[in-house]
Structure 1
Amino acid sequence: MKRKLMISDIHGCLEQLNKLLEVAEYYPGEDQLILLGDYVDRGPRSRETVDRVMELVHDHGAIALKGNHDERLVEFIWNGGLEDKSKFFQYGGMETLRSYVPFGVGPDTECLVDDARMIIQRNYKEHLEFLQSLPLYYEDEKHICVHAGLNPQFRDWKEQPPRDFMYMKGEFHRSPNKTGKTVVFGHTRAAELHDSPDIWFSDGKIGIDGGCAYGMQLNGLVYQNDSYRSYVVGNFKQKT
């Protein structure tokens, strides 16, 4: 049976992503890689991470889902409204701009921020279109993979609002999983679920966000032959 390797919340931690693929012995022709969103913000190399994700999808058949940070980046770059700007910089957007533009940018320097937005619109339109086009979930015979979670108020989880796939938290964590499949998700750091950055295994739910951009770790979950195996790469020092 083909291995399935699931990773979430890379957040610009490109070195850790590449190291994790190496540690997990990822082989594109034999393994199915599933990335659960949030490729940008907080970490140091968002631009390069998006390049890498695009390569993995286009050249190696990886599946990439959309996270809330990915959507927020697209909205901010194209629209640049006050609310978009506030949320963008509040949740790690500064690091993303610095990875895309060759000059210093600050949230209070309107001219430089607008210049940065225009540079990204002009030079990285392919990135924006790629992130905007990403699906919100992936489903196979055993799993439902989403960035954040499923809203238990919907009998048919596919009918929940798009925002829920990218933002759902507490109610999803607390409610029983009635889908008949294991839900694999990121968005909420595992350390918030069980006081450890290691993968959180619960009844029908698996949380894999290791909080790498917060100085913790990047987790990889491998599923094969009805069993799971975890792989870990540490923070920016790349401790394994």
Structure 2
Amino acid sequence: MSERLIAIGDIHGCRVALDRLIDELNPTSRDIIVALGDYVDRGPDSRGVIDSLIELRNRTQVVGLLGNHEEMMLEVVRGGEPPHGWLKHGGVETLDSYGFDGGLDFLPDAHIDFFDSLGDYFEFEDFFFTHAAYDPDTPLEHQPTEMLRWYSLNDGFPAPHLSGKTGIVGHTAMRDGEILDVGHLVCIDTYCYGGGWLTAIDLYSRRVWQVAQDGRVRREQTQM
């Protein structure tokens, strides 16, 4: 058992918020931090976010999941997919943060290694973590990537997973800045890049930390 099991919602290039959140968390080597994906796009400093997450791995145990925005970026960079869809959904801001000069080799080696390390889901004790959602009737190791990375909770909440464990997800932005908790499913994408908050939650204590894109800390919400 870790000292704390902490999930962090969609960061989307908001490095100032991430760095302040890490300061507030003050993690130790006994913690596990699960980053739910969508580190890049839309916000101003995707490159800086990846740098901060790589540095965080020197302080604590970090589990990173692959979000749909990383998928879009890597399909362009590695798979030769047309860039239009990615650029329309925040890729321009990501390229700006990397000082894009026209070539697709803009990712530093350390960042390539980071993206290569990302998984589709993480299961630990009474919880499982995915970027977007899950198929309730399918074991986690056989989940379709469409559900894990792309499904929107705006299309309906999945039923409890057959494992009986609580699902912790991001992807669907809660534009009111509030965590969505329906018991068997908790969504902590609280719309940081759009004026909401970057959220972290300790699943053991249910303590919540929230930081705005400009680094302001939401002091009034500390417990779920």
Q: Deviations over 1:181-234 (max 9, x none)?
A: 11000000123xxxx21211112111000111112111111122xx41111112
**Counterpart AA for 2:84:** S
Aligned-pair CA distance for 1:239: 4.7
Q: 1:94 to 1:145 in 2, by over 3 A?
A: same
- After the TM superposition, which residues 23-34 of structure 1 pair with which residues of structure 2 at under 5 Å, given as runs? 23-24=24-25, 26-34=26-34
Relative distance call for 1:52 and 1:175 in structure 2 (3 A) is same
Aligned 1:32-111 pairs, distance under 5 A: 32-57=32-57, 60-82=60-82, 85-101=83-99
**Deviation >6 Å, runs of 4+:** none
| 1:49-93 Cα distance to aligned partner (Å, 9 max, x none) | 1111122235532111111111211121224432xx111111101
DSSP-derived class of the 1:76 partner: helix
Q: Structure 1: which 5+ runs fail to align?
A: 103-111
Partner of 1:209: 189
What corresponds to 1:228 in structure 2? 206
Query: What secondary structure is seen at the aligned counterpart in 1 of 2:181?
Result: strand
User: 1:109 maps to what in 2?
Assistant: none
The alignment's TM-score, normalised by the length of structure 2, stands at 0.87
TM-score, normalised to structure 1, is 0.82
Partner residue of 2:148? 165
Gap runs ≥5 in structure 2: 219-224
Letter in 2 for 1:14: R
Deviates more, 1:136-145 or 1:52-61: 52-61
Decide which of 156, 159, 168 is 1:184's aligned counterpart.
168
Q: Give, in whole Å, the separation in 2 of the partners of 1:19 and 1:64.
A: 19
**C-alpha displacement of 1:160:** 1.8
Query: Within 5 Å, which residues of 2 pair with 1:87-166?
Result: 87-101=85-99, 115-118=102-105, 120=106, 124-152=108-136, 154-166=137-149
- In structure 2, what is the Cα distance between the partners aligned to 1:175 and 1:162? 15
CA distance in 1, matches of 2:54, 2:213: 23
Alignment partner, residue 179 of structure 2: 199
Shift of 1:149: 0.8
- 1:238 aligned onto 2:221: no
Tell me the SS of whatever aligns to 1:70: helix
Q: Compute the displacement of 1:237 (Å).
A: 5.4
Identity of aligned residues (%): 30
Deviation at 1:173, TM superposition (A): 4.2
Helix, strand or coil at the partner of 2:160: coil
Structure 2 equivalent of residue 5 of structure 1: 6
For residue 116 of structure 2, give the secondary structure of its aligned residue in structure 1: helix
Higher-Rg member (1/2)? 1
